[in-house]
Amino acid sequence: MLSNVPGAPGLETARQAGIEAVTIDHRPFGRDRAAHEAELHSALVARNVRLVCLAGYMRMLTPFFVGVWSNRLMNIHPSLLPSYPGLHTHARALQSGSKIHGCTVHWVTEGMDEGPPIAQAAVPVLPGDTEETLGARVLAQEHLLYPLALKLAAGGVVAFPPDTAALRNPEADTKPHRG
């Protein structure tokens, strides 16, 4: 487990599960994101990491990092992308009158929350919902969805789609075509 935030709760959770937990704080690097990401890259390579799974990483990655980890870099986002990329997704869903909201696990590309989706989970927007109540239902789905998406990606069931693909259903590739 690698974090850019010292004391992030996930670090202790990882340690309690017997997983190495490392912090590479971005603050000593100032505005030099490339230098920070070079350190992240070195730490990942030293540990023979094959798939990078972001969660709560609230910084845009540089083209260097996205490029070197291309097709092996995934993220979870609290909206049904392409709706509501970026921050404040629950408030924006409520303000727009959305009837459904949810979360998306997607491949990371250079644009913010623009990568191809791997999996999505939806929840209803209920009358009287607040950012907190809606966010809690979405978070519960995130905790179910991300492990599933990680299993699919690590097992090679889903892969970064080719540039020519609009959408790709991995199940369609394993079932015989009828017709």
Q: What is the CATH number for 151? A: 3.40.50.170
User: Whole-angstrom Cα distance, residue 92 to residue 98?
Assistant: 9
User: Whole-angstrom Cα distance, residue 37 to residue 26?
Assistant: 9
Does some domain include residue 27? no
Q: What is the pLDDT of residue 156?
A: 85
Distance of CA 15 to the CA centre of its chain: 21
Does some domain include residue 144? yes
Among the listed ranges 25-29, 99-103, 172-176, which one has the minimum average pLDDT value?
172-176
Say whether pLDDT at 179 is over 60. no
User: Whole-angstrom Cα distance, residue 167 to residue 115?
Assistant: 12
Phi, psi values for residue 107, rounded to 5°: -70, 140
Does some domain include residue 147? yes
Domain around 148: 75-160
Does some domain include residue 130? yes
Say whether pLDDT at 177 is over 80. no
Q: What is the pLDDT of residue 173?
A: 47
CB 12 within 8 A of CB 2: no
Say whether pLDDT at 34 is over 60. yes
Indicate which residues carry an active-site annotation: 77
Among the listed ranges 20-29, 64-73, 151-160, which one has the minimum average pLDDT value?
151-160
Q: What is the pLDDT of residue 1?
A: 93
Say whether pLDDT at 127 is over 90. yes
Residues 141-159: tens digit of each pLDDT? 999 999 999 999 988 888 8
Say whether pLDDT at 169 is over 60. no
Does some domain include residue 98? yes
Q: How many domains does the chain have?
A: 1
